């Protein structure tokens, strides 16, 4: 092995290791951001004495952050970018760069997210123990489903570790070992689970909105006033945008469903047979 190859392998391993570290930190930080109610240290914009104007600026900044994440996530997942990496023989580090940029964008989002403290739509009292335990249980189970699901769907390949390892030991692309049906499924649904993410996005103890409608100046505004106010919610904006993005991006179809069903039945019968022979 020449010195050039040694340097290239060292660079691949270093990039992959950095991606693993920053991804682990991002997962912890993003989990805290989504599931732990922000009480202290909340960032918010206070440009004027007008709460509606302040809230509008906050929502505009938050929308820019969400747009940046969606642009990065969609652009790097496009076939054009993948083909460009393949054309320059950089497909080995594609996943590492993907997770590094994703982690960087999400860390930037959590640190620059602007709250809208002027307004409140609903608020759950987490000091009341039954509500706290229900909230904590649902979020814990949802995160466990996401974490375990990613581990079961080959987390080393998802993070780019397997690609770098196979390249260093001169093995072919690990994706070539996967069936076309599995490759198709992972392209249509990269991360499990849709329902768990939706629960995390929407089940939050504080959703913020103006109590006083600026149009009719009533404390209990009609439905059209409520709809007018909903655009001023920072957490509702995050829930709506990310839920819509997942719905559009995760385009599984009937073929994916039947493949997943057949693999589940196959594993079930294999475990049943092993259990029968163990007695």
* Tally of domains in the chain: 1
Label residue 209 left, alpha or beta by phi (over 0 means left) and psi (-120 to 50 means alpha). Answer: beta
pLDDT at 213: 46
Q: Percent of the chain, pLDDT > 90? A: 39
pTM > 0.95: yes or no: no
pLDDT for 221 beyond 50: no
205 vs 262: which has the higher pLDDT: 262
Which domain does 170 fall in, by range? 3-277
pLDDT for 190 beyond 80: no
pLDDT at 113: 92
What is the per-residue pLDDT across 107-120, written as a single tens digit (0 to 9) for each? 999 999 988 766 66
pLDDT for 225 beyond 60: no
What is the per-residue pLDDT across 61-80, written as a single tens digit (0 to 9) for each? 999 999 999 999 999 988 89
pLDDT at 212: 47
Question: Strand pairing partners for 115?
Answer: 44
- Range scoring the smallest mean pLDDT among 9-13, 178-182, 267-271: 267-271
122 band by pLDDT with thresholds 50, 70 and 90: low
pLDDT for 187 beyond 80: no
pLDDT at 120: 64
pLDDT at 143: 94
Return mean pLDDT, the chain. Answer: 81
178 vs 218: which has the higher pLDDT: 178
DSSP the chain: --HHHHHHHHHHHHHHHHHHHHHHHHHHHHHHHHHSPP-SS--B--SSS-HHHHHHHHHHHHHHHHHHHHHHHHHHHSHHHHHHHHHTT-GGGHHHHHHHHHHHHHHHHHHH--B-TT--SEE--TTSHHHHHHHHHHHHHHHHHHHHHHHHTTHHHHTTHHHHHHHHTT---GGGGS-HHHHHHHHH--SS-HHHHHHHHH--SEE---SS-TTT--SS--HHHHHHHGGG-HHHHHHHHHHHHHHHH----HHHHHHHHHHHHHHHHHHHHHHHHT-
221 vs 249: which has the higher pLDDT: 249
pLDDT at 184: 83
Q: Percent of the chain, pLDDT > 70? A: 79
pLDDT at 163: 93
pLDDT for 106 beyond 70: yes
């Amino acid at each position: 092995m020449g010195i050039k190859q040694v340097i290239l392998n060292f660079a691949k391993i270093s990039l992959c290791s950095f991606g693993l570290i920053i991804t682990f930190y991002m997962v912890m930080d993003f989990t805290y951001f989504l599931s732990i109610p922000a009480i202290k240290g909340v960032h918010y914009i206070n440009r004027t004495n007008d709460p509606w104007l302040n809230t509008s600026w906050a929502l505009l900044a938050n929308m820019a952050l969400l747009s940046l994440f969606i642009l990065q996530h969609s652009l790097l997942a496009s076939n054009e970018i993948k083909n460009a990496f393949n054309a320059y023989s950089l497909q080995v580090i594609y996943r590492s760069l993907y997770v590094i940029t994703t982690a960087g964008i999400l860390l930037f989002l959590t640190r620059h997210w602007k709250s809208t403290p002027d307004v409140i739509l609903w608020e759950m009292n987490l000091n009341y123990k039954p509500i706290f335990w229900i909230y904590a249980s649902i979020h814990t189970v949802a995160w466990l489903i996401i974490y375990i699901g990613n581990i079961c769907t080959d987390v080393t390949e998802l993070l780019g570790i397997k690609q770098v390892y196979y390249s260093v030991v001169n093995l072919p692309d690990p994706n070539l070992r996967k069936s076309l049906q599995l490759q198709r499924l992972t392209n249509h649904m990269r991360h499990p689970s849709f329902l768990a993410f939706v629960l995390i996005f929407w089940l939050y103890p504080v959703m913020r909105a103006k109590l006083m409608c600026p149009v009719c100046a009533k404390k209990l505004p009609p439905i059209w006033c409520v709809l007018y106010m909903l655009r001023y919610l920072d957490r509702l904006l995050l829930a709506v945008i990310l839920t819509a993005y997942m719905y559009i991006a995760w385009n599984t179809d009937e073929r994916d469903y039947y493949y997943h069903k057949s693999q589940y039945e196959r594993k079930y019968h294999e475990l049943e047979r092993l259990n029968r022979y163990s007695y």
